[in-house]
Amino acid sequence: MGSDYEYSDDDGEYYDDEEMFDGTQDEGDDVDMDNFGDDFKVAGKGKRKSYEVDYDSLSQQAVEKLMQRDVDHICGIFGVDTDTANLLLRHMKWNKERLIEKFMDNATSVLVAAGVAAPEPASPPAPVRTHNNSAPNSSTTRRPTTRGSKLLSLASGSKSAKSPPSTPKPMQRQLSKKQDEPFVCQICFNDAPDLQTLSLGCDHAFCTECWTDYIVSKIRDESEHSIRCMAEGCALVAPDSFIRSVLLPETGADPEKQEFNEKTWSRLQELFVRHFVGCNSSLKFCPYPSCTNTVSCPSAASKSSLTTIVPTVSCGARGIGNSAQDPAQSQQASLGLQGKEHKFCFGCDIESDHRPVICGVARMWLKKCRDDSETANWIKSNTKECSACQSTIEKNGGCNHMTCKKCKHEFCWVCMGPWSEHGTAWYSCNRFDEKTGVDARDAQSRSRASLERYLHYYNRWANHEQSAKLSLDLYAKTEKKMEEMQITSALTWIEVQFMKKAVEEVDKCRMTLKWTYAMAYYLAKGNEKELFEDNQRDLEKAVEDLSELLESQIEAEQIPTLRQQVTNKTVYVQKRNEIVLEDTANGFLEGRWRWNVPVPGFDDPVETA
Amino acid sequence: MDARLRRVNKEISDCKNDKTSQIKIELFDESPFHLKGSFPGPEGTPYEGGLFEVDIVIPDSYPFQPVKMKFITKVYHPNVSSASGAICLDILKDAWSPVLTLKSTLISLQSLLCSPEPNDPQDAEVAKHYMTSKSSFEETATYWTQIYAGGPGPKEKKGKGVGGKGVQDEVAIAGLERAHVDRFETLGFERSKVIDALRRLNYRGPNIAQITDDRVVEELLK
């Protein structure tokens, strides 16, 4: 069953790995994901359509693996530990090439700038630490692994280090005991003798509790992933292992706090991923609330590519949680938006599918709608423009002798001609075909025409948007009908899915139709536009037919016919939609479309005579 | 005890014990989280001799988030709003560090008075005044110190007990020349309006040559 036709969205928007990254990556992009092909589902699929883009959906774990690979690479080249590599990469906004270049040039300065090492003091630092805890500390269980030795060897090996570079100190140090002065934490002024303290390589020691509060406050209140030493003016950044040991100590505190800190830690991981994604132009974070997936779309990474493609992508997740595949729950989910996939545009911030129109034009249209639509209708029905200065005038009473408030032009409201020519025939305009009157009306009708034109497109656009919103109701109704059908006929659950498929198709096509009106509004007149509008008309007709069919009453004996009809229509609608999308997309690739307004990335419109 | 409360209490008592810094921190009411700090104007500046009071609010996440401070005393300074007392200082924002204390922050404010940063202004009009004519700016700042912060006033008049607090010279507060104000007043404009317009136009020092009388009248008629 269901083999009558295929739904392209059923098998997911996953494409072949090979094809995806084939020559589409730009030089600056060093994320090579082929090795991670097995981390996400890649379903083999035929040649992609011209209106689709190659993209891939990555889970947070997958992105973390990509990050880890960069980190490992840097560790290997520089011989540094993971913590250092992480700090260096984050500092350089994950631009590996620049990091390597800079590091080779002057390792010390990069390490200082990244907050890995303290800047070299003028005189060698005194080895005595005055901040140590006086009381013998019984609970020094956490012995940090000694890193930094590797770092030291490499730093001294780098060519530009003239004097011995500052020796990066171990990142974390549980204070050793002794010293005469009792330690007082400079933040909470706690001087308890058994106070546990921590410090970064700079030896600015503070009590563990203050560190915890500080880190939590940075991550939770400020969403900051780069956490500097608390001492004033100290630029050292806390490495991951340090933060982890503070937030998640091995000797667990009370469980409630433990859970809170675990959440803080995972929030930090998300911040790291977001930072990485933000630094890479071929990645984008899913804008849907509480979704942590990332989409990779190298072909849409550059701004210039957005004049030829509409990178509609989906992060792979559906609704909240991935339960939509389960038939029992899908019925619930499909009633609301929860079941919808997270579709968004990779190239701009429109959180839906705005194919076939490109980002720049879509944005322009949305802006125009925000500015114009609310008052446009009223203006159209209640006002006229002054024939001299074109200001919009509302006639709210009185005679036809109008005096424009702005330019003081006197004219007749009926014929729009100048009042001076009315002579003695005041208050009864009989001069309709006088030349000046005709000219004035012409000027006005031109101005009206542009408003009319806009409203023509806007009303259709708004209508499809409205219908798309109503599709939620349609889903619900259809769901009910499907149940009815299962009861009234011998059809099984799987056999009545054609209704749902049809509704989904209608919804999808209405989105396309909606945006075709935005596109048509800006398209320059000509054969190309006519062809575009022909395609648009065919799709619209097909969608309306199918919509009507879905709304019709169901009679038990007609179900087989209905099914036949709906299935046929669905296939037809789908084909028409594809034609519109494909033709438009090809048009962009061929540079066929011409606009009637200047659009960035295109030639300026040629004035048509 | 709550770490924040312990810290604030300690800071207040430390400040009390420290007689050399001349910085005072007092409670407004019972709350230890809304305080009033004060410090004398730094020597060798137009603020010398004045006492400057600062409103201090301690946020919940103190000391991990910076304290909120603003001047109670009116101050004529490029980095302090002449209207609200808001302060533009990096350590009160992103350069805050938890080891900074109320005292050290107040000391930073004190040193901000010594070294204005007119290129990163809080009060653009004052900053313009500073950039146009430093001497005229300093006169005004001294006058403000005298009338708002209890300062001794301009040096030449020292000891004469000028004016007293009741008589405030609007022209001097706005940092303008009496002759200029008088001139436009005789054209038939209200004195307060003239002062307002000239202040907005920064009618001071070398700027005066560049501002035509017509421009002033235009501003006055706005």
Measure in Å the smallest separation between the Cα of A248 and chain B Cα atoms. 20
Q: Tell if the CB–CB gap between B64 and A232 is shorter than 8 Å.
A: no
Q: Tell if the CB–CB gap between A230 and B61 is shorter than 8 Å.
A: no
Among A491-495, B11-15, B164-168, whose mean pLDDT is lowest?
Answer: B164-168
Going by the DSSP 8-state scheme, the letter that residue A337 receives in this structure is: G
Work out the average pLDDT over B144-156: 76
In a mutational test of the B interface, the residue from A206, A230, A237 whose CB has the highest number of chain B CBs within 10 Å is A230
Q: Compute how many other C-beta atoms are within 10 angstroms of the C-beta atom of residue A374.
A: 9
Q: How confident is the model at residue A486, as a pLDDT?
A: 79
CA distance A320 to A299: 28
The answer, yes or no, to whether ipTM is higher than 0.95 is no
Cα–Cα distances (Å) from A234 to A109, A199, A227, in that order, read 15, 12, 11
Work out the average pLDDT over A540-564: 83
Q: How confident is the model at residue A11, as a pLDDT?
A: 42
Q: How confident is the model at residue A172, as a pLDDT?
A: 42
Residues of A in contact with B64 (CB under 8 A): 213-214, 217-218
The residues on A that touch B, with CB distances below 8 Å, are 186-190, 204, 206, 209-210, 213-214, 217-218, 221, 230-234
Residues of A in contact with B7 (CB under 8 A): 187-189
**Contact indicator for B137, B130 with CB cutoff of 8 Å:** yes
Q: Tell if the CB–CB gap between A230 and B99 is shorter than 8 Å.
A: yes
Measure in Å the smallest separation between the Cα of B200 and chain A Cα atoms. 31
CA distance B122 to B53: 18
Q: Tell if the CB–CB gap between B65 and A213 is shorter than 8 Å.
A: no
Question: Based on the number of CB atoms within 10 Å of its own CB, is B16 exposed (0-12), middle (13-18) or buried (19 or more)?
Answer: exposed
Q: How confident is the model at residue A536, as a pLDDT?
A: 92
Active site residue A399: yes
Q: Which of residues 4-23 of B touch A (CB under 8 A)?
A: 6-7, 10
In a mutational test of the A interface, the residue from B99, B101, B104 whose CB has the highest number of chain A CBs within 10 Å is B99
CA distance A441 to A34: 66
Query: Which amino acid, B116?
Result: P
Interface check for B64 against chain A (CB to CB < 8 A): the answer is yes
* pLDDT band at residue A215 using 50, 70 and 90 as cut-offs: very high
pLDDT digits 0-9 by tens, A162-176: 333 333 444 444 444
CA distance B198 to B174: 9
For A217, the closest of B6, B61, B99 (CB atoms) is B61
CA distance A112 to A117: 5
Q: Tell if the CB–CB gap between B99 and A232 is shorter than 8 Å.
A: yes
> Does pLDDT of A38 surpass 60?
no
- Cβ contacts of residue A392 below 8 Å, gap of 6+? A379, A383, A384, A385, A386
For B10, the closest of A189, A217, A230 (CB atoms) is A189
Residue closest to A389 by CA, chosen among A407, A412, A405, A410: A407
CA distance A498 to A484: 14
For B98, the closest of A209, A214, A221 (CB atoms) is A214
Distance of CA A126 to the CA centre of its chain: 52
Q: List the structure tokens of B133.
A: 């004519």
Question: CA-nearest residue of chain B to A209?
Answer: B3
pLDDT digits 0-9 by tens, A104-130: 999 999 999 999 988 876 544 444 333
Residues of B in contact with A189 (CB under 8 A): 6-7, 10
> In the structure, how many helices (H) and strands (E) does chain A have?
15, 11
Interface check for B98 against chain A (CB to CB < 8 A): the answer is yes
Question: CA-nearest residue of chain B to A189?
Answer: B7
Measure in Å the smallest separation between the Cα of B137 and chain A Cα atoms. 32
- Crossing angle between the packed helical segments A527-551 and A497-522, to the nearest 10 degrees: 150
For A188, the closest of B6, B65, B91 (CB atoms) is B6
In a mutational test of the B interface, the residue from A131, A187, A230 whose CB has the highest number of chain B CBs within 10 Å is A187
> Does pLDDT of A526 surpass 80?
yes
Q: What percent of chain A is modeled with pLDDT above 70?
A: 72
> Does pLDDT of A338 surpass 80?
no
Q: How confident is the model at residue A243, as a pLDDT?
A: 94
Catalytic residue among A75, A188, A279, A399: A399
Question: CA-nearest residue of chain A to B5?
Answer: A188
Buried b (16+ CB within 10 A) or exposed e, A538-564: bbbebbeebbebbeeeeeeeebeebbe
Question: CA-nearest residue of chain A to B102?
Answer: A187
For B99, the closest of A187, A213, A217 (CB atoms) is A187
Query: Which amino acid, B100?
Result: L
Q: How confident is the model at residue A12, as a pLDDT?
A: 41
* Secondary structure class of A97 (helix, strand, coil): helix
Interface check for B61 against chain A (CB to CB < 8 A): the answer is yes
Residues of B in contact with A233 (CB under 8 A): 97
Among A136-140, A264-268, B152-156, whose mean pLDDT is lowest?
Answer: A136-140
Q: List the structure tokens of A198.
A: 């921590």
Q: How confident is the model at residue A539, as a pLDDT?
A: 93
Work out the average pLDDT over A555-560: 75
CA distance B86 to B83: 8
pLDDT digits 0-9 by tens, B186-208: 888 888 888 888 988 888 888 88
Q: Tell if the CB–CB gap between A190 and B6 is shorter than 8 Å.
A: yes
Question: CA-nearest residue of chain B to A207?
Answer: B3
For A230, the closest of B61, B65, B97 (CB atoms) is B97
Catalytic residue among B57, B88, B91, B211: B88
> Does pLDDT of A304 surpass 50?
yes
CA distance A31 to A282: 9
Measure in Å the smallest separation between the Cα of A120 and chain B Cα atoms. 21
The pTM assigned to this predicted structure is 0.68
CA distance A226 to A223: 9
Measure in Å the smallest separation between the Cα of A187 and chain B Cα atoms. 6
Question: CA-nearest residue of chain A to B4?
Answer: A188
Question: CA-nearest residue of chain B to A213?
Answer: B64
Cα–Cα distances (Å) from A563 to A337, A500, A502, A558, B84, in that order, read 26, 12, 10, 8, 73
Question: CA-nearest residue of chain A to B8?
Answer: A188
Work out the average pLDDT over A352-361: 87
CA distance A406 to A413: 16
Q: List the structure tokens of B65.
A: 């988030």
Residues of A in contact with B98 (CB under 8 A): 187, 206, 210, 214, 230
**Contact indicator for B65, B105 with CB cutoff of 8 Å:** no
| Higher per-residue pLDDT: A9 or B108 | B108
Q: Tell if the CB–CB gap between A231 and B3 is shorter than 8 Å.
A: no
